[in-house]
A and B are shown apart, each in its own frame.
Chain A
């Protein structure tokens, strides 16, 4: 297990979610996607969210990012509570990588445009040097700079998406099933890249996955979700020993071994 290099000092809360509820629709059509979820992630830690589809794990990430209009509860990033409407400075701290690399990149923007625009919007002016640096960081190198998404493989696209998320130099990366659209061999490459980036940049990860072994590899702590509620928060060690206490987590564990 990779421990964060900054773990020696007292743990500082990087992301704290308290009593978060998210719902869609009104009145009769109201769907409660997340109900009273609370968890805390320390600086430099890696936290997993697992559960079946529709259990609300991605919705939590979207709520943190400010992509869902209706939510209640409290979210604080780096011990500062976030406002209902996110400030630009928020996105310098928190960034997200989406599930499907085929859908998250603009098909008519080259890698250079994708990264350049992100850097420009975040107020950087030495864009040229930074694009080169970002591509190096994610192991792509300069020859990919002027390619379009259709000229890249799935793994390469996901690397571009990670580079885009790293552009504003964030401290927290929200990873929404970053490898579920990829082959196992490519999955290994991307997971290794994420591990390296975490040690290099001291990042905090919140990772959503339906694959318990991926979460077991990447995270130290995980929450199991069912029907919009967190049923159990446990250490990965407990997961490895198959000592989950909630019946649903046991069921999930049995299905993935």
Chain B
């Protein structure tokens, strides 16, 4: 601000380097490690934990890995404490805690937790299924989050992800059943997602209605429409309108034979492979193409973009169409990959989780996809733990991912910054 004033002799220009260091990472790591140690003290378990690495049809069957449960868990606690100490040391020296350190410690603590939970159990932890199930559960969340990222980077907050997923699932079910082809279902889902996006665009861009309002209301509208049509039309005609043929699994040669992760990641349906392609594609489109640059410009500073001749409204509409198409694919997952019929409100809040993943991933496609994978893993964990008969009530297992997310958001991610013009309608002067 002082730059506009005339410089006076009294003004002394000072150069100081200020490093902002957050103490949150070591605190969060410390709290989680301490809680885990407390758990081990309060509920000690004897016996060995078995991790099953092999799955049916492996070329090279890996042996099961058996570790002493409690001892392993304590080793992990020690590692966690050491990591926390390193983080604290880094902070004390005025340096940032690298993200990889937090991630590695999270994996270590998770391993320790699994070892503790499976200790002394007759069942073993199926690692392959844990990974594969996580990816599957994450698919709609990843697509939803990607759609959310594209919309928000262009300056349109998309709370209607849930609605796009649900509309996609509904249309995929009907179109897939009528035509008998899952591809038609996928296409219909894309159209449905785009339609929801266009309604959002008409209200948010053309009529400049508050985008949060439109998003929330669109969710309710889609829930109402699909549930109404489901009860009124699909239920009486279940065979002719609501019984899709699902995509079959396709094993990718060589890759599918990699032990542990191969069958989990590379023996999936087309939609899952689309997800593998979509994440880098969206990243590339946003970060390395002219379209992405313009889109981000419109999201950060629409006036500046307008000044250099970028059509703000058109760019935002186009971004919404792309976002809707992506989210629609995520919706198709429910009815042409996961199960073969539509059910009332079957997305069950995945759109809101995707919204959380967008913010968790700081509006970056790759990070958002990783956050979505985390949520997928978390919701899959309970199934794995019920196999080994974990000593903790199942409700707490189910709760755990959400608690961890809060810790992560508060401790590791911190203040997230949205695109500057996100949510603001642009009025040309």
Bound pair (A, B): no
